[in-house]
Amino acid sequence: MKPTRLLLIWLGLLLGLNTLLGASVALQVKVPETLHSVAWGLLLALLLLAMLDAARLRRRPSVRVHRKLPGSLALGRWEEVRLSLEHNYPQPLTLLVFDHVPDGLSVDNLPHAIQLRPGERGELGYRVRPLRRGHFSFSHCELLLPSPLGLWSARRWVETHDATRVYPDFARLYGAQLLGVDNWLSQLGVRQHQRRGLGLEFHQLREFREGDSLRQIDWKATARQRTPIAREYQDERDQQIVFMLDCGQRMRSQDDELSHFDHALNACLLLSYVALRQGDAVGLCTFASDTPRYLKPVKGTGQLNFLLNAVYDLNTTRKTADYQAAADQLLARQKRRALVIIVTNLRDEDDEALMTAVKRIGRQHRVLVASLREEVLDRLRQAPVQTLPEALAYSGAIDYLNTRNQLHDRLTAHGLSVLDTLPSDLGATLVTRYLGWKKAGAL
């Protein structure tokens, strides 16, 4: 509890008046005795009123607070939180409200002042923006409650327990349904290649059309109908995709607001969304994490929710990626042939270990290694060089990139597919490669 500005002003005025009266006595200036009595009486009355007001404030019940919190938030996106307040006081009440937001959420428009009328409920809103994923609990809301006479204000903590989850940025995934997948993918820069050959899944019979290949003609159906009948094919469905996600120390790099790991999660969810709509099954396994997680490949749009719940609280560690152990874990669980996408950040020291692990996986599965490249390397490579420190930074970046590219070339020479991409471009690049392989029947 602390005094308000009103109490301090009155106290200052009365103390100033008594000081002047005391100075007049010291200077032997004649002042009516009644003025001394009035000044001391006013000061005593103010002190009594302040004590009474403080006692009434202590007995004053707290305002009731209810928080309306979204059940889930998307990483990096602003969302509104609403607070409703009400009281049973006979007079209007002006409050200063501050909701205690957990660490990891940035907040806007707090503290917030609101006036509550007797018997009415007031509402206010503020915005939060998640800076990291996970589970967040809101425990209490802080109020600055004024006394009945306005001489004191007290801080009250109102218990309001709520919780929410912060997921990867899934909002654009569900928003894509409104735009259409093809239009949305083209906006992201995804290029869909034309199909080469017809070694895909049979769909239906239909009348022969101009431009169809002679190999599409079903001669038995043509003989029965006495008109050319062609087979129509569709992209093969019921294939399986498994993401092997590196949760080690290299994925902790951060070029913007999102870490490389968060970019990787967004890209995996983006490709999962596209693949599930294509009729394929999607699964996930992690390595270099505190507790390895495995989600077996399953078809259906509901699998995206399982993926979100499996990774929303997944964080990076300071462990080094063990590709051999990751390969053992995958091969022990994934028996059916699948497209295995390894999302990591390759370094030159990974040559032998990664090569051995990927070759083992490649005997049974189609493997794609997605290697994330730090944006700062591209900036150093393209920046003008004018000073010795800039020359040293440029040389170091070029040497690192050359060594990294040599590793990628060695993997490619052994028949392995490698994507070298920036974290922000990973999603569109993965979808482009997946759709290209699917159209070509190469999965």
Q: What is the pLDDT of residues 249-307, one digit of tens each?
A: 889 888 777 889 999 998 999 899 889 988 899 999 999 988 889 999 999 888 988 99
pLDDT at 40 over 90: no
pLDDT at 232 over 90: no
CA-to-CA dists, residue 233 to 203, 225, 230, angstroms: 5, 20, 10
What pLDDT band is residue 1 in, cutting at 50, 70 and 90? Answer: confident
Angle at 17 between CA 14 and CA 18, to 5 degrees: 90
Query: Which residues touch 311 (CB under 8 Å, ≥6 apart)?
Result: 133, 168, 245, 265, 268, 269, 284, 293
CATH code of 64-167, in short, is 2.60.40.10
The total number of residues written for the chain in this structure: 443
What pLDDT band is residue 206 in, cutting at 50, 70 and 90? Answer: confident
User: Domain coordinates of the chain in residue numbers?
Assistant: 2-59, 64-167, 171-177+183-191+237-440, 196-234
Query: Which residues touch 219 (CB under 8 Å, ≥6 apart)?
Result: none
Q: d(Cα 261, Cα 74) in Å, to the nearest integer?
A: 15
**Contact between 69 and 83 (Cβ < 8 Å):** no
For residue 171, the model assigns a pLDDT of 54
pLDDT at 178 over 50: no
Q: What is the pLDDT of residues 100-120, one digit of tens each?
A: 999 989 999 888 888 888 878
**Contact between 247 and 288 (Cβ < 8 Å):** yes
Strand order in the sheet with 366-372: 294-298, 281-287, 240-246, 339-344, 366-372, 417-421
**Contact between 281 and 315 (Cβ < 8 Å):** no
Q: d(Cα 87, Cα 231) in Å, to the nearest integer?
A: 73
> What architecture (CATH level 2) is domain 171-177+183-191+237-440?
3-Layer(aba) Sandwich (3.40)
Q: Is 443 or 221 the better-scoring residue by pLDDT? A: 221
What are the two backbone dihedrals, phi and then psi, of residue 67, each rounded to the nearest 5 degrees? -105, 135
